[in-house]
Amino acid sequence: MLSFLARRLLLLIPVLFGILFITFALARMIPGDPCIMALGERATAEQCFQYRERFGLNDSIPVQFMHYLGNLAQGNLGNSLRTSEAVGDVVLLRLPMTVELAFTAMLIASIVGITLGIISAYWNNSPIDVMTMMGANLGVSMPVFFSGLMLAYFFAIVLLDTPLWLPPSGRLTSGITLTPLVETFHWQNLSGAPLVVVTFISNMATINSLISGDWPVFWDALRHLILPAVTVGSISTAIIARMTRSSLLDVMGLDYIRTARAKGLREQLVIFRHALRNAMLPIITIVGLQLGHLLGGAILTETIFGLPGVGQIMVDSIYARDYPALQAFVVVIAVIFVMVNLIVDISYAYLDPRIRLQ
């Protein structure tokens, strides 16, 4: 297992380097002069030269890339050309929302998808199976920005004045504010990486309120999160349900299941103890692979539900040609994606010894 881990981590280096290089190179190709974007149309050549000198834009591209890597290693993601804020701060403020949304969606999609898949496989070819699979086909084909709008319409308008009503937009009801964890627990002397981690977690409303034990805020945050998360997770739910069904059906045809049945085991025991364990491997892979779609879906869905994540700010950055901001968002999200895939790979190897030994 250790050698597998080492090999897998080594393989990570070129991929991470590739991600950084591609985003860096592409960002430099964004048309438009960053100096004009930052200083305005009336900037003189002299001002522009000094501006470029200050931000190292007069250096050759390889030198700039090395500077970029150096800064990155120190946790410095650069400054926004639009607002001249440190991009790292903007990422810390905005990204937790997107990550919270994507992971909640992943949780919902896994639970609902696996359950539906098991039901479908258990009653294979029954009306309930046909219905579920038709639903799954529809779910895969529906764009999230459409299903989101329809869910908002149903839960916020049709169910208005009923207990099932859910808010169609915003992160928290206006008037309710989130206290940063640093203040709740008096961690003012925190700095460096721990501060970054705490701030990141602190900006995820549900987790923050859960840790602080602030139940009214938690309930409010959760109610605002349900619709977006179900929306983001809809496609993945369908894909996971299909995968669970086919994987379980494959395993159910194997000899050891027949043996288990012949022993007189109860059917539930056969499915949950024997079949599902072996059927889990491809399901875990597909869940991990879904995260990329979920992050993309989260970016789209935020704009529908008015959530303060990275979605809108990325689009704004594109129109403002604010490439340091854009580049930072892309790099951070891609790195999160790669890390989750790494975790999936490791858990896969942990569950299936054959993979470790390859």
Partner 1 sequence: MEPDNATVSGVATQTRRNLWLDALRHLLEKRSAVVGLSVLIGLAAIALLAPALATHDPIQPLSDIKRNTPPCIHLLGCPDSQPQHIFGIDGNNRDFFSRMLYGARLSLIIGFATVSLALTVGTLLGAVSGYVGGWIDNVIMRIMDVMLAFPFLLLAIFLVAVLGPGLINALLAISIVSIPGYARIARASVVSVKEMDYVTADRALGVSPVRILFRRILPNAMTPLIVQGTLGIGTAIISAAALSFLGLGAQPPTPEWGIMLAEERNNLFNAPHLLFIPGVAITLTVLGFNLLGDGLRDALDPRLNR
Q: Which residues bind partner 1 (CB under 8 A)?
A: 14-15, 18-19, 22-23, 26-27, 29-31, 137-138, 140-146, 149-150, 152-153, 157, 291-293, 295-297, 299-300, 303-304, 311, 314-315, 317-319, 323, 326, 330, 333-334, 337-338, 341
Least gap, CB of 215 to partner 1 (angstroms): 31
Smallest separation (angstroms) from partner 1 to the CB of 166: 14
Separation between Cα atoms, residue 343 and residue 75, nearest integer Å: 23
Torsion angle in degrees (nearest 10) through CA of 310, 297, 315, 313: -10
Kindly state the smallest distance separating residue 141's Cβ from partner 1, in Å.
4
Q: Which residue, 208 or 317, is less far from partner 1 as judged by CB?
A: 317
Shortest Cβ 296–partner 1 spacing (Å): 3
User: Which one, 318 or 351, has the nearer CB to partner 1?
Assistant: 318
DSSP letter string, 170-214: -SS-TT--PPPHHHHTT-TT--HHHHHHHHHHHTSHHHHHHHHT-
Q: How far is the CB of 178 from partner 1 (least distance, A)?
A: 27
Shorter beta-carbon distance to partner 1: residue 141 or 191: 141
Measured distance CA(225)–CA(105) in Å, rounded? 9
Q: What is the 3-state secondary structure (H, E, C) of 59-100?
A: CCHHHHHHHHHHHHHCCCCCECCCCCCEHHHHHHHHHHHHHH
> Of 299 and 349, which CB lies nearer to partner 1 in the complex structure?
299
DSSP string, 11-37: HHHHHHHHHHHHHHHHHHHSSS-HHHH
Enter the tokens of residue 124.
């294979």
Residue 275: CB atoms within 10 A of its CB come to 26
Taking the least distance from each CB to partner 1, the nearer of 260 and 298 is 298
Give the nearest distance from C-beta 240 to partner 1 in angstroms: 16
Whose Cβ is closer to partner 1: residue 224's or residue 242's?
242
